[in-house]
Structure 1
Amino acid sequence: MAGSSTPWVGSAYLFLQSTCKTIVLPSLYESSQKKPNVFMALKLALADSTGSMNGVDMLKVHCSHPHLIVQLKFCKQENCRRFLQSYREGALQKSLQSHLQLSLAMTMVPLEMELKAGSEHLDNMLRDEDRCLECIFREKPDRLRDEEITELEERLKSLTLHQGINNNIAVKDFAPLKSPSLPHPSQGSSLPPPVTFIFQGQQFDNRKITPDDHQKFAKFVSKKWKQVGRSLQKSCRALRDPVIDNLALEYEREGLYEQAYQMLLKFIESEGKKATIARLIAALEENGLISLAEELLGLHYSEDCS
């Protein structure tokens, strides 16, 4: 190990893979819209594992399908030890799953994780913590922090500071930090909807869906109303199959506007206070209806959002 006068610095690689075929972490990270959300989840989970936002540094995130590989740098042995304990006990995995679920507005993000230092597979020696520390200490970082990571760090820092000012809270070391995402609350959850959410890097109030929102949605969503409904049904029992297909048949003569209007009405009536604009925007974003999402949030005033 390092002498008393020598800084303790080590490096490791964290391999992440979703066990769900429809969730491909490298593809999400390569998306300009999803990348900040994935980065935020990584940052928060790593902070949970060490007890500090500065406990471990991300040098680079590699996309190597199907894995997302995070290069880590530790500057203190005690932080690395906390990280190893969290990893060994499964706390890091649970934390990252939770933060990804919130940040990406998904019901669940199942993960497999693997930790390596050089050629050593640390999962095979997790019970021998000192040996793991030696392997990580031997593996010195081979790069400086990637410019993209620095940019994402600054965006996160700016967002957190902005939230702290809005809430009259002094923010130090990014804490306390909540994930400002587009969450789909789980069915039956007693937690209140988040006060704000992030869309395209901007913060918006997570208000109720208004009659104006309702009418604009029905007018512009066109044939994709079913797809949006199926995105909403993940967290809304009232829209579970075959409800959406039945609505299509029942209002077929009235046309797409009425079908879309009735679908969203069912969502609003069944979810009550939880029928927020954040959940609708998340469903629109999931189906590529970015223009309509922008319209509902007042980001532009186009005549045709379809």
Structure 2
Amino acid sequence: MADKVLDPGPWTGCAVLFLQSLCPDVNLLSLYKDDQQGKFIFFKVIKLTLIDSAGGLGGYEILKFHDADPFLGVEVKFMDLPACQQFLESYSSGAVRQSISQHACRLLALAQEFTVETQLKAGTHVLDQCLDKLELCLQQIHLSQPERLRDEEIDQLEKLLRPPAQRIPSNCFRFQNKVFEDRMLTAADVQRFANGVGRQWKHVGRTLGRECGALKDTAIDNLAYEYAREGLYEQAYQLLSRFVQAEGRAAKLSRLVKALEDCKLTSLAESILDVQP
């Protein structure tokens, strides 16, 4: 193979991988067109093959599948030169065919070995004829810019591959993609809030007051007047203490964290939850 090609600038290109099954019991084109489950399985085969051959999940995306009877075409956009280069090297060595065969045999639960005929094209250029010239192949792919956005059908298949959202237990809540146990506010929570909220205590109080009758505007103004001499710490402390007294068991940590997020006080929420920013 040629030496590594280096290009620090942005790089995109497009190639189409054509596939035809050599197994009499498997017609890839029919499998993709006529069987919804088969379509998803084949899409997964291609995704796993690209992960194997292009070095991971990034640097490329599948744009569309083409009916090129008897072949099924897979149009791939490359957005990263190293990923495209690694794919070409894998294709040249036969690793792409091997990866397709292995994944298809496993996912389709075939009793026999699965073999496939492949052809790689960039525009009208058949790259199989010049795989020993890496720079030329990369140039042809780069010149073959994609003419379309990703097909809606591919979008739907991508969504099917994503893991289901984690179900949060009823006694928990999510903050910054982490799950925390929801509990009643403690004296330590009240102290941390009073130490960190500063002049924003009224804003947080009004946010909590949307669902707490004891924290209406007049009550917050009264707290500000009554504890004016003691300062911001005491005003904030009395605010949250009143919330806890009024709401009882419903004075949950999740409600305070949500109010802090709404008031753009994420760092204070992190402090109360002992989360490293």
- Is the TM-score greater than 0.5? yes
Alignment partner of 2:17 out of 14, 18, 24: 14
Q: Is the 8 A contact 2:63 2:149 kept in 1?
A: yes
Question: What's the CA shift string for 1:137-165, capped at 9, x where partnerless?
Answer: 00000110001101111110135x77xxx
Q: Which amino acid aligns with 2:99?
A: S
The answer as to 2:30 corresponding to 1:27 is yes
Q: Is the 8 A contact 1:62 1:70 kept in 2?
A: yes
Alignment partner of 2:122 out of 102, 107, 117: 117
The answer as to 2:162 corresponding to 1:157 is yes
Q: Partner of 2:220 in structure 1?
A: none
The verdict on how the C-alpha distance between 1:29 and 1:82 changes in structure 2, with shifts beyond 3 A counting, is: same
Q: Is the 8 A contact 1:9 1:137 kept in 2?
A: yes
The answer as to 2:66 corresponding to 1:62 is yes
Structure 1 residue 65 displacement after superposition: 2.2
Q: Partner of 1:76 in structure 2?
A: 80
Give the alignment of 1:1-306 within 5 angstroms.
4-5=8-9, 7-30=10-33, 31-107=35-111, 108-158=113-163
Question: What's the CA shift string for 1:191-226, capped at 9, x where partnerless?
Answer: xxxxxxxxxxxxxxxxxxxxxxxxxxxxxxxxxxxx
Aligned length: 160
Structure 1 residue 20 displacement after superposition: 1.9
Question: What's the CA shift string for 1:149-196, capped at 9, x where partnerless?
Answer: 01111110135x77xxxxxxxxxxxxxxxxxxxxxxxxxxxxxxxxxx
> What SS class does the counterpart of residue 118 from structure 2 fall into?
strand
Structure 1 residue 62 displacement after superposition: 1.4
> What SS class does the counterpart of residue 34 from structure 1 fall into?
helix
Query: Aligned equivalents of 1:115 and 1:124: distance in 2?
Result: 9
TM-score by length of 1: 0.50
Sequence identity percentage: 41
Q: Partner of 1:266 in structure 2?
A: none
Structure 1 residue 54 displacement after superposition: 2.1
The worse-fitting range, judged by mean Cα deviation, of 72-81 and 58-67 is 58-67
Q: Partner of 2:225 in structure 1?
A: none
Q: Is the 8 A contact 2:21 2:115 kept in 1?
A: yes
> What SS class does the counterpart of residue 149 from structure 1 fall into?
helix
Structure 1 residue 64 displacement after superposition: 2.5
Q: Is the 8 A contact 1:26 1:65 kept in 2?
A: yes
Q: Is the 8 A contact 1:47 1:56 kept in 2?
A: no
**Which aligned runs of 4 or more in structure 1 are off by greater than 3 angstroms?**
1-5
Question: What's the CA shift string for 1:42-63, capped at 9, x where partnerless?
Answer: 1001110011122321000112
Query: Aligned equivalents of 2:78 and 2:32: distance in 1?
Result: 23
Structure 1 residue 119 displacement after superposition: 1.1
Bigger Rg over Cα: 2
The verdict on how the C-alpha distance between 1:98 and 1:3 changes in structure 2, with shifts beyond 3 A counting, is: closer
RMSD: 1.8
> What SS class does the counterpart of residue 16 from structure 2 fall into?
strand
Structure 1 residue 72 displacement after superposition: 0.7
Q: Which amino acid aligns with 1:70?
A: V
Q: Partner of 1:190 in structure 2?
A: none
The verdict on how the C-alpha distance between 1:138 and 1:51 changes in structure 2, with shifts beyond 3 A counting, is: same
Query: Aligned equivalents of 1:18 and 1:9: distance in 2?
Result: 29
> What SS class does the counterpart of residue 36 from structure 2 fall into?
coil
Q: Which amino acid aligns with 2:137?
A: C
Query: Aligned equivalents of 1:115 and 1:3: distance in 2?
Result: 23
Structure 1 residue 103 displacement after superposition: 1.1
Name stretches of at least 5 consecutive residues in structure 2 with no aligned partner.
Answer: 167-277
Question: What's the CA shift string for 1:10-45, capped at 9, x where partnerless?
Answer: 001100001122211011111112111111011001
Q: Which amino acid aligns with 2:160?
A: R
Q: Which amino acid aligns with 1:82?
A: Q
